[in-house]
Structure 1
Amino acid sequence: MFDTVLVANRGEIAVRVIRTLRALGVRSVAVFSDADADARHVREADTAVRIGPAPATESYLSVERILDAASRTGAQAVHPGYGFLAENAAFARACEEAGVVFIGPPASAISLMGDKIRAKETVQAAGVPVVPGGRDPELADAARALGAPVLLKPSAGGGGKGMRLVRDLGALEEEIAAARREARASFGDDTLLVERWIDRPRHIEIQVLADGHGNVIHLGERECSLQRRHQKVVEEAPSVLLDEKTRAAMGEAAVQAARSCGYRGAGTVEFIVPGGDPSSYYFMEMNTRLQVEHPVTELVTGLDLVEWQLRVAAGEPLSFGQEDVRLTGHAVEARICAEDPSRGFLPSGGTVLKLREPQGDGVRTDSGLSEGTEVGSLYDPMLSKVIAYGPDRATALRRLRAALAETVTLGVQTNAGFLRRLLAHPAVVAGELDTGLVEREVEGLLAGDVPEEVYEAAAAVRLSGLTPVADGSWTDPFSVPSGWRLGGTPKPVAFHLRVQDPVEHAPRGTHTVTDDHVSVTLDGVRHTFHRAADWLGRDGDAWHVRDHDPVAASLTGAGAGGADSLTAPMPGTVTVVKVAVGDEVTAGQSLLVVEAMKMEHVISAPHAGTVTELDVTPGTTVAMDQVLAVIAPHEEAAE
């Protein structure tokens, strides 16, 4: 076993790898950018090295700086985690040339399986079924030959980045251009492939493990069908769809795919499966790294996959065979992301003011957070994972819903409440899943209107902060927050508040306010919230209740900056500007693109008009609700 291992990543996966290194008695080295100088993974490692400024291209994606950190600290091996350089064949080769062990597969396997076009051809030759499709440079022709709907995918990456479902071939060229931009931004390569879209499919993946002595086994499957925008949000093991015969057949197909590329270490072979016919499965891709959802496999097999990555990289053979693998019980994982479901799941950011992460019987949280963590727009939005285990699926789901209700991340908006409601959906409970379920049911899973008790709690906090002015034994009656008026009936003290739309609220119930909680009783029902500054949280949901100035709002017009202003829907970076001051635009015309956490958002004209102000250029960093441009409406649009 190695003496020292450098973890070339950040966030929850870095913390998780460090945990196993500590258990094995291996010294851990963390790396960090300026944005992560006080991050949790930095504090938990045995030592840490600064590798550059905040942008990933100058820090976490810099092969030279990471290898320099390994050399300076005496690290014998590098664990890449997932994302960043984890599936970078050039990095794996550079490690080998520097005399540092890359904890992952050979560079040749990464290169082969990282090119989805070559990967499909290779596994097909090994007898593994693949989805019909086409590739660059005949991409558009192949898409038209397949017929709508088709799925555009980057050849060089995964994780849903750059993937586009095209149902209208009339929009094919625009979708291809957008997919190329996202692929280039995420992976540095805009090569695409196209595949036939299978309606209502299930996404099932097989975990494989291979050593350097010719042994390749699989550790069962994970159901990953609950997705939004092609990004997994909930994963579980095993899948309720597969019987033992199909599980064995898919497992063997995954093993053959791994053998076909000379694989070593932990990897995942992903399949798309028609829900009505589980025996008809197709290879999609192979992820040549540890997966985000690996904890569910660990819980049902009892294996530590990071430990086995280390052992295999150190040259050890697997100490067990396929016949020794047993799947016991059931595990489900939910990904906590910095995003706001009420704003179309746009990326969010801020400072973590209060943090409560569930642990205990049957519950595990993998997290990179701590109170005071700054969540920005430079890196992936996933903050943590909550995983629950039980003797059966119903128990695991129940424990995970309860754990999500206990999750508190005030200061940054997350999807925890949304995930809790998703896990209670009848189709999810019944195991009737497909990759489009979340998108179809999304409206019913949102929190909806802000409950009255939220405004009641926010007003109670503000009321408690109104301290009467006292001078010795005398108190100024005008400073007492009682609503007292000279010669008139007392009027309840009211506060102007805003979560989404502004409201005026006067407390009408009883309340108790402490430094970190507030309880209010309305109509005989008691409601308790976590609190931190202007944030309130309950059952996984959170509300940022701000003070609202109706006078200022009336002077600036409707919304932030006025009805004619285009504002940033999220903190991020402007990547595309398609107009200039003086241009005439039509309603709905695409004008700007803002990117945050590797996600694009198109800003369109609210009405026909003229661009009178343009405050940004490509590369401009913007805050949420910052004014980007102003469109003066044409006369008919104004009417």
Structure 2
Amino acid sequence: MFSTVLVANRGEIAVRVIRTLRSLGIRSVAVYSDADAGAPHVVAADVAVRLGPAAASESYLSIEKVIEAAKATGAEAIHPGYGFLSENTAFAAACEKAGITFVGPPASAIEAMGDKIRAKQTVAKAGVPVVPGSDGSGLSDEELGLAVEQVGYPVLLKPSAGGGGKGMVEVHRADDLAEAIAGARRVARGSFGDDTLLVERLVTTPRHIEIQVLADAHGGVIHLGERECSLQRRHQKIVEEAPSPLLTPEQREAMGRAACDAARSCGYEGAGTVEFIVGSDRPDEFFFMEMNTRLQVEHPVTEEVTGLDLVELQLRVAAGEPLPLTQADVALRGHAIEVRVYAEDPAAGFLPTGGRVLAWEPPTTVRVDAGIAEGGTVGSDYDPMLAKVIAHGADRDEAIRRLDAALGRTVLLGLGSNIGFLRALLADPDVRAGNLDTGLVGRKLDELTAQDLPSDVLGAATGVALLDLEPAGDLVDPFDIPGGWRLGEDAWTTRTLVVSGHDPVEVRTRGRAANAELLIGEERVRTSTAVSGTVSHSQGGTTRGYATARAQDGTLWIARDGQAWAVREQEALDASAQADGAGGPVLSPMPGTVTVVEVTEGQQVTAGQRLVVVEAMKMEHVLTAPVDGTVRELRARSGGTVAKDAVLLIVEGEADGS
């Protein structure tokens, strides 16, 4: 076994790999960019080496720098985690050239499975069923159009060199094909340096089921059952579980055999995942989608139902050991389900968020793999996944109940997240019944993100605001208490509170923070406050606890039951400034990089016309003109980075008096 292993990754997967290294008594080496100095994976490792600036291309994706770090620290092996260099053939070859073991499959297997077109051809020869589609590489736009005609609508455009759903586009009409090809090529070129696309038949109401395989250098190949990954947004998984509620033991065995055949077809070694697409109405018919030649984000659910440590098995296989078990030794125990906690706003189309982590209190009753820490900053340089929460139960219902309860106890303040959305998704009747498909989230997005604003949240925010204004000490002069006091009774003080995603609400208060009287609309409530940034609101005999934190910009963050709200005070808007038909600034909806600027200074535009494309955290967002008008103060530059709410340009409308 190795004595020192470098982990060429960041975030929760780096922390998770380091945990196994520590349990095996192996010295761990972390690498980091300037954005990650002091990050949890850096703190967890025995040794840490700086790679370079925040940009992944100058740090985590620099093969030369990672190899140099391994040599400098005496690392005998490199574990790539997932993403970054984990499926990079050149990196695997560079490790071999440097005499360093790559904890993964041979470069030849990565190459064979990394190109989706070649992968389909390889596994098809081994008898594995594949999705009907194009089988040639390097197709021109015209050739892609011909392939689409042969396959028939609807189709799915996929970058040949990509993964993680990035750049995948559904096309349902011929009129949309040209724009879809251009967009998919642009994302593929920017993300993978290769804009080669392939076409596949779009399986309607599809379920995404993958098989975990393990293979050693001695001919041993086994599978560890399946994971259902059908709950997705933007072709990216958000909930994964094992086993699937769809498959029978016979179907599981058939897919397992096909997955092992796929692994053998490319001379695979180590841990990998063979992904299949299955029609909800025809579970006996499954098609190979791709093989991920690395550890998957969702591997913990397999670990929970098998009792195996996949990272340890990866290390043992990489060290030349045979697999310590056979197919007959594999037994599934109970049910496990995992959710991915993202820095994103589901109600705004899952736009990435970010900011300083003011509070992070993960649940202690289930497994949590996290890559964030209180006081850290979540930026736009990397993937928005923050943590994974994994629950195990005797059956599926118990696993879901335990997971939902754990999410309800999770506190994350300082940035928007999808925790509330995940709880709504887990409560959905179809999800509870196991009636899943990859389009479920899209169909139900409005109802899953429809969150009423509880009046007691506004009461809690007001209580904190009042408490902040009160003088400290036991003896308080009533004339020192700001606002409201007068002879006979307290006067009312009015505030306008704005909560992200909701209309402004007028709140009237009178009295001290400890027992203030509030009017929220027509509802009269009272607040009671406690110390240490925790607020309790009592009404109708029930008490609910809140965690709170104040950001530097004055925003008050409030959390309860896994949900979080950002509350600000706002003066009444000047109605005269809101003229119909007026233009205004076009803001970046997320921190990211400007990839396309389609207009010039002074250009005439029409409402809905494309202006700028901003990309961040595996997501591309197209900004359009709000009204007919003229482009003024164009600040967006292709390749430039922008902050959330940064002004990209101004559209001067007709009502602006231009």
The offset of 1:390, in angstroms, is 0.7
Aligned to 1:27: 27
State which drifts further: 37-46 or 133-142. 133-142
Aligned to 1:177: 182
Q: 610, 615, 637: which is aligned to 2:635?
A: 615
1:105 to 2:110 alignment: no
Aligned to 2:651: 631
State which drifts further: 340-349 or 88-97. 340-349
Question: Following the alignment from structure 1 to structure 2, what is the Cα–Cα distance between the partners of residues 142 and 481?
Answer: 72
Contact 1:460–1:513 under 8 Å retained in 2: no
Write the letter of the residue equivalent to 1:119: A
The offset of 1:343, in angstroms, is 2.1
- Cα-to-partner distance string for 1:538-571 (whole Å, 9 max, x where unaligned): 12211111221336x6697589xx8522111111
1:275 to 2:280 alignment: yes
- Which secondary structure state, in structure 1, belongs to the residue aligned with residue 493 of structure 2? coil
Residues 445-484 of structure 1 correspond to what in structure 2 (within 5 A)? 445-468=448-471, 475=477, 477=479, 479-481=480-482, 483-484=484-485
Question: Following the alignment from structure 2 to structure 1, what is the Cα–Cα distance between the partners of residues 578 and 385?
Answer: 36
- Which secondary structure state, in structure 2, belongs to the residue aligned with residue 236 of structure 1? strand
Aligned to 2:408: 405
Q: 260, 277, 301: which is aligned to 1:296?
A: 301
1:387 to 2:386 alignment: no
Aligned to 1:152: 157
Write the letter of the residue equivalent to 1:549: E
Residues 161-560 of structure 1 correspond to what in structure 2 (within 5 A)? 161-360=166-365, 363-468=366-471, 475=477, 477=479, 479-481=480-482, 483-485=484-486, 490-500=490-500, 501-507=503-509, 508=518, 509-533=526-550, 534-550=556-572
Contact 2:347–2:446 under 8 Å retained in 1: no
Write the letter of the residue equivalent to 1:609: G
CA separation of 1:570 and 1:474: change in aligned 2, threshold 3 A = closer
CA separation of 1:25 and 1:468: change in aligned 2, threshold 3 A = closer
- Which secondary structure state, in structure 1, belongs to the residue aligned with residue 614 of structure 2? strand
Question: Following the alignment from structure 1 to structure 2, what is the Cα–Cα distance between the partners of residues 469 and 359?
Answer: 35
State which drifts further: 2-11 or 620-629. 620-629
CA separation of 1:72 and 1:260: change in aligned 2, threshold 3 A = same
CA separation of 1:247 and 1:348: change in aligned 2, threshold 3 A = same
The offset of 1:145, in angstroms, is 2.5
Q: C-alpha root-mean-square deviation of aligned residues, in Å?
A: 2.0
State which drifts further: 377-386 or 533-542. 533-542
State which drifts further: 450-459 or 139-148. 139-148
Contact 1:469–1:475 under 8 Å retained in 2: no
Identity in percent: 61
CA separation of 1:21 and 1:550: change in aligned 2, threshold 3 A = same
Question: Following the alignment from structure 2 to structure 1, what is the Cα–Cα distance between the partners of residues 635 and 478?
Answer: 49
When the two structures are superposed, what TM-score results if normalisation uses the length of structure 1?
0.95
Question: Following the alignment from structure 2 to structure 1, what is the Cα–Cα distance between the partners of residues 476 and 85?
Answer: 68
The offset of 1:447, in angstroms, is 4.5
Question: Following the alignment from structure 1 to structure 2, what is the Cα–Cα distance between the partners of residues 326 and 68?
Answer: 42
Write the letter of the residue equivalent to 2:68: D
> Which runs of 5 or more structure 2 residues have no equivalent in the other structure?
510-517, 519-525, 551-555
Runs of 4+ in 1 over 6 A off after TM superposition: 553-556
Contact 1:185–1:598 under 8 Å retained in 2: no
Q: 557, 575, 583: which is aligned to 2:595?
A: 575
Question: Following the alignment from structure 1 to structure 2, what is the Cα–Cα distance between the partners of residues 199 and 514?
Answer: 54
Contact 1:456–1:506 under 8 Å retained in 2: no
- Which secondary structure state, in structure 2, belongs to the residue aligned with residue 545 of structure 1? strand
The offset of 1:485, in angstroms, is 4.5
- Cα-to-partner distance string for 1:319-360 (whole Å, 9 max, x where unaligned): 211111001100000000010123221100001110111123
- Which secondary structure state, in structure 2, belongs to the residue aligned with residue 600 of structure 1? strand
The offset of 1:157, in angstroms, is 1.6
Aligned to 2:522: none
Contact 2:404–2:426 under 8 Å retained in 1: yes
- Cα-to-partner distance string for 1:500-558 (whole Å, 9 max, x where unaligned): 3322212421211322311112344433211111100112211111221336x669758
Write the letter of the residue equivalent to 2:434: G
Question: Following the alignment from structure 2 to structure 1, what is the Cα–Cα distance between the partners of residues 87 and 214?
Answer: 16
State which drifts further: 501-510 or 401-410. 501-510
Aligned to 1:590: 610
Write the letter of the residue equivalent to 2:119: A
Write the letter of the residue equivalent to 2:494: A
Question: Following the alignment from structure 1 to structure 2, what is the Cα–Cα distance between the partners of residues 625 and 190?
Answer: 30
Question: Following the alignment from structure 2 to structure 1, what is the Cα–Cα distance between the partners of residues 472 and 459?
Answer: 24
Question: Following the alignment from structure 1 to structure 2, what is the Cα–Cα distance between the partners of residues 196 and 558?
Answer: 48
Contact 1:7–1:14 under 8 Å retained in 2: yes
- Which secondary structure state, in structure 1, belongs to the residue aligned with residue 112 of structure 2? helix
The offset of 1:489, in angstroms, is 6.4
Contact 2:583–2:651 under 8 Å retained in 1: no
Write the letter of the residue equivalent to 1:154: P
Aligned to 1:11: 11
Question: Following the alignment from structure 1 to structure 2, what is the Cα–Cα distance between the partners of residues 260 and 194?
Answer: 23
Number of residue-to-residue matches in the alignment: 630
Contact 1:459–1:506 under 8 Å retained in 2: no
The offset of 1:185, in angstroms, is 2.1
Write the letter of the residue equivalent to 2:462: A
The offset of 1:575, in angstroms, is 1.4
Contact 1:481–1:493 under 8 Å retained in 2: no
- Which secondary structure state, in structure 2, belongs to the residue aligned with residue 550 of structure 1? coil
Question: Following the alignment from structure 1 to structure 2, what is the Cα–Cα distance between the partners of residues 186 and 555?
Answer: 45
Question: Following the alignment from structure 1 to structure 2, what is the Cα–Cα distance between the partners of residues 614 and 457?
Answer: 42
- Which secondary structure state, in structure 1, belongs to the residue aligned with residue 217 of structure 2? coil
Write the letter of the residue equivalent to 1:543: W
When the two structures are superposed, what TM-score results if normalisation uses the length of structure 2?
0.93
Aligned to 1:37: 37
Aligned to 1:46: 46
State which drifts further: 87-96 or 528-537. 528-537
